[in-house]
Amino acid sequence: MAAPVALATVQELADWIGAPIEANTAEYRRAEQCLRIASALVRTETGRTWLNPDGELLTVDENAAMVTLYCAGRVFDNREGMTREGIDDWSGSFKVDEAGAYLTATEKRMLSHLGGSTFGGLSTISTTRGECPPNTGGWVPTDTPNVFFPWY
């Protein structure tokens, strides 16, 4: 079975990182793998494939495409997950949430409206209904004076 089509193209990734990625090179193949990894993370987070039954790519939501590019760019630029580097008297550091490919909390929020399931956390469950139907049955008295329940 062939691997699912990535949610973004190598050319889009090259535009995102601001460097050309020539076809038929090792860098191109690495870019394809980075896009496949990022696409798998986005598909897992959203629970959607954006593929038709024949395996062809459907129209991808813009947020899903942007998150795919951002994640793939992170992996492409820093595949070792380095947090610091230095040459001679220059040194620099990078913020890396974890080793390998990952989605940040912001990226997960960007994808949350696309059908992904969230586990844990706070949520709100509505306990009210819309307007009450017209009272057609009368009122039932209670033990509390002047308090009645509608009877339908």
What is the band of 150 on the pLDDT scale with cuts at 50, 70, 90?
Answer: confident
Q: Residues 6 or more apart from 8 whose CB is under 8 A from it?
A: 35, 38, 39, 60, 65, 68, 69, 72
State how far the Cα of 98 lies from the Cα of 44, in Å rounded to an integer.
Answer: 18
Q: Is the pLDDT of residue 37 over 80?
A: yes
- Residue of higher predicted confidence among 75 and 4: 75
Give the separation between CA 81 and CA 64, rounded to whole angstroms. 23
Structure confidence by residue, pLDDT tens digits, 46-100: 999 888 888 888 999 999 999 999 999 988 887 655 556 667 777 776 666 666 7
Percent of the chain with pLDDT over 90: 41
**pLDDT on residue 148:** 78
Q: Using a CB cutoff of 8 Å and minimum separation of 24, what contacts does 75-82 make? A: 75/34, 75/37, 75/38, 75/100, 75/101, 76/13, 76/17, 76/30, 76/31, 76/34, 77/17, 79/30, 79/34
pLDDT at position 123 is: 66
pLDDT at 137 over 60: yes
Q: Which residue has the higher pLDDT, 9 or 114?
A: 9
What would the pLDDT profile of 42-55 be if each residue is shown by its tens digit? 999 999 988 888 88
